Amino acid sequence: MDLKAYCPEKLKSAEDAVAMIERGSRVFIGTACGEPQQLIKSMVGDPKLQDIMIYQMLSMTLAQFVDDPSFLRRFSLKLFFISSHMRKAAFEGKIDYLPTYLSQIPKLFSSHRIGLDVALVQVSPPDKFGYCSLGVSVDITRSGIENARMVIAQVNPKMPRTWGDSFVHVDDLDYIVWHEEPLVEALPSVKDEKIAVRIAFFVNQLIDDGATLQIGFGHLPYAILKYLDNKKDLGIHTQLITDGFLPLFEKKVITNKRKSLLPGRVVASLCMGSEKIYEYVNNNPMFYFRSSEFVNDPTVIARNDNFVSISSALEVDLTGQVCSDSTGYFFYSGIGDQVDFIRGSAMSKNGFSIIALPSTAQNGEVSRIVPHLSEGAGVATTRGDVNFIITEYGIAELQGKGIYQRVMELAQIAHPKFREELIEFAKKRHYIFKDQLPPASEDLLFLEGYKRNFTLKNGKTVEFRPLLPSDEFAYRNFFYSLQEKTIYFRFFYRRQLFSHAVVQKQWASVDYRKNMSIVGLVQIGGHKEIMAIGTYADDGGRAEVAFVVREDFQGMGTASFMIEMLESIARENDYTGFTATVLKENGAMLHVFKKQYPHAKIKTSGGGEIDIIMDFKDLA
């Protein structure tokens, strides 16, 4: 469309266009990398504009002016999210932060709870029908345009033309400024690659092929993305598209084929990054940009089956409360999209949420897993909403668990040097038992090498891994689920109680080298249950081994798999063989040992017990 021919009266210079803004106006500005830089600079440069209230979601260009006293006398900044560019200004009280769920901001405009006089936006050139695209900033920008009394648009040929609900007709624009300039670029830096790799390792374990993902704001979620390149047919429904997605697009990891909502399409409302990602989304029909009231609506999100929300946080307390927008009294970022997506994932069929964060801050001096949130810190995600928490030390699953279990799960993934301190605080607050032992104060990442999956004869998959302190309740429930005969075969007497003291003694004795316990877990509905336990304990050059398998999983190869797994671990720890004591009537276990070690030495005692000595075969 030829704008000079179609609407010459609307075409103005940036200076003349912003001169139309009246004193005392409430001005909305497009978001982040989609903001109209030339219009912003012209507005700031016009001394006649006084007492202007600015509303923006993510502000970049205005960061150039916030340290100027004359700017602050003329303009008041109201931000829904604090970008890194604005963090210092926020700490100094130069801006006003509006804590709001991103999905609710458009409603604040449409209801006139927040009235708008002017919208300053950036769009692509119009097509032959007169439609411009909001490009990389649809999010709350569409609502800003629809609810402002006057719309001034900067038409920039460098603005990508994005598909979806991103179009605005020139008839709906009051003034048009043609100005070409590079878009704002935003590439988050990775603060610690080693920690990011370890966190990504654990995140990767939870994500299945075909899942639909949301990736939140921040450097850590951005860094995690590239470590998902071993997945297949991932889908995307997210607020923000960044350069972090590019390798997954290029490798066809993201195909969107298995999405239940809008299959084949990446659903998003905002794009931030480099020119490379802007070129990729430009006129690309794979992308479906919609406004935040759609993309971030939990009921819409929930229509995606197998939905996984991945976001970050500043700190998490021992009960599961999450702070993501402030460090104490200092506002650091914003509520943004975290709560919207966490609640949407909870309603999704087979969906769940992950909050990933480093275990420490300030060069390792401060724990991010804390006894209580810092004074002044806000609760972005409540303890009732939280599901998985991941640090570089592992995964804590909190959904459906009491405070005792949450404390143990979170202490387990805290930095080793803070674990004992966290347990002591929890004792003082009566969160846990007074005699509770803290998790091991060492980095147990090597235990990841001890994990195995095994498919049973009935087709079910069992996950085997080392026993952890947080398994206390599951361990207890496992033994209470066993028949009396099974317990008798394991302990040689009819044990009836598996109290906290008994169970704690079991995991407390595990040092993962001389004494090892592994558990087998099966998926039952939305959770996992222990169905088998295998242990070995130091017995000189050999290790004494024992097993117990729930009755409905006996005879399926479980014990044979576990003995092979334990042998592999025992070899790593310099053992040369196993010993075992078995009741004569426990023929099934005797068969397992004889099958695995046909040359085992068997001794029968007068008390109805059989001692077995088993040497490991020479692998050479």
Report the distance separating Cα 584 and Cα 609, nearest Å: 6
Which pLDDT does position 329 carry in this prediction? 85
What are the tens digits of pLDDT across the range 331-355? 888 888 899 999 999 999 999 999 9
Per-residue pLDDT band at 223 (split at 50, 70, 90): confident
Report the distance separating Cα 109 and Cα 80, nearest Å: 13
Say whether pLDDT at 488 is over 80: no
The residue among 36 and 508 whose pLDDT is bigger is 36
Per-residue pLDDT band at 492 (split at 50, 70, 90): very low
Say whether pLDDT at 506 is over 50: yes
Which pLDDT does position 232 carry in this prediction? 96
Which pLDDT does position 27 carry in this prediction? 98
Longest dimension (CA), the chain: 107
Say whether pLDDT at 495 is over 60: no
What are the tens digits of pLDDT across the range 427-445? 999 999 888 878 878 888 8
Count the Cβ atoms, other than its own, within 10 Å of residue 320.
Answer: 24
Per-residue pLDDT band at 620 (split at 50, 70, 90): very low
What are the tens digits of pLDDT across the range 68-104? 999 999 999 999 999 888 999 999 999 999 999 999 9
Phi-psi region of 368 (alpha: psi -120 to 50; beta: other; left: phi over 0): alpha
DSSP 401: -
Which pLDDT does position 326 carry in this prediction? 86
Per-residue pLDDT band at 493 (split at 50, 70, 90): very low
The amino acid occupying position 453 is N
Residues 6+ positions from 470 with CB-CB distance below 8 Å = 396, 405, 408, 409, 412
Whose CA is closest to 249, among 287, 203, 206, 197? Answer: 287
CB 254 within 8 A of CB 245: yes
CB 148 within 8 A of CB 116: yes
Q: What percent of the chain has pLDDT over 70?
A: 95
Note the helical H segments in 331-402: 338-347
CB 104 within 8 A of CB 139: no
Q: What percent of the chain has pLDDT over 90?
A: 72
The residue among 524 and 156 whose pLDDT is bigger is 156
For the ranges 367-371, 408-412, 510-514, 596-600, the lowest mean pLDDT is seen at: 510-514
Say whether pLDDT at 547 is over 80: yes
Per-residue pLDDT band at 474 (split at 50, 70, 90): confident
Kindly list the distances between the CA atom of residue 289 and the CA atoms of 134, 140, 174, 255, 271, in Å, as whole numbers in the listed order: 9, 12, 24, 17, 9
Which tokens sit at 209? 């092929």
Topology, domain 193-428: Glutaconate Coenzyme A-transferase (3.40.1080)
Residue 283 three-state SS: coil
User: If you average pLDDT over every residue of the chain, what do you get?
Assistant: 91
In CATH, the architecture of 3-178 is 3-Layer(aba) Sandwich (3.40)
Residue 142 three-state SS: helix
Averaged pLDDT for residues 131-146: 97
Say whether pLDDT at 501 is over 90: no
Topology, domain 450-615: Aminopeptidase (3.40.630)
Per-residue pLDDT band at 10 (split at 50, 70, 90): very high
Per-residue pLDDT band at 216 (split at 50, 70, 90): confident
Which pLDDT does position 303 carry in this prediction? 98
Give the predicted TM-score (pTM) of the model: 0.89
Which pLDDT does position 508 carry in this prediction? 65
Report the distance separating Cα 427 and Cα 404, nearest Å: 10
Identical fold between 3-178 and 450-615: no
Say whether pLDDT at 131 is over 80: yes
What are the tens digits of pLDDT across the range 553-574? 888 999 999 999 999 999 999 9
Report the distance separating Cα 202 and Cα 219, nearest Å: 17
For the ranges 168-172, 411-415, 583-587, the lowest mean pLDDT is seen at: 583-587
What is the DSSP pairing of strand 148-155 with strand 116-123?
parallel
Domain residue ranges of the chain, discontinuous segments joined by +: 3-178, 193-428, 450-615
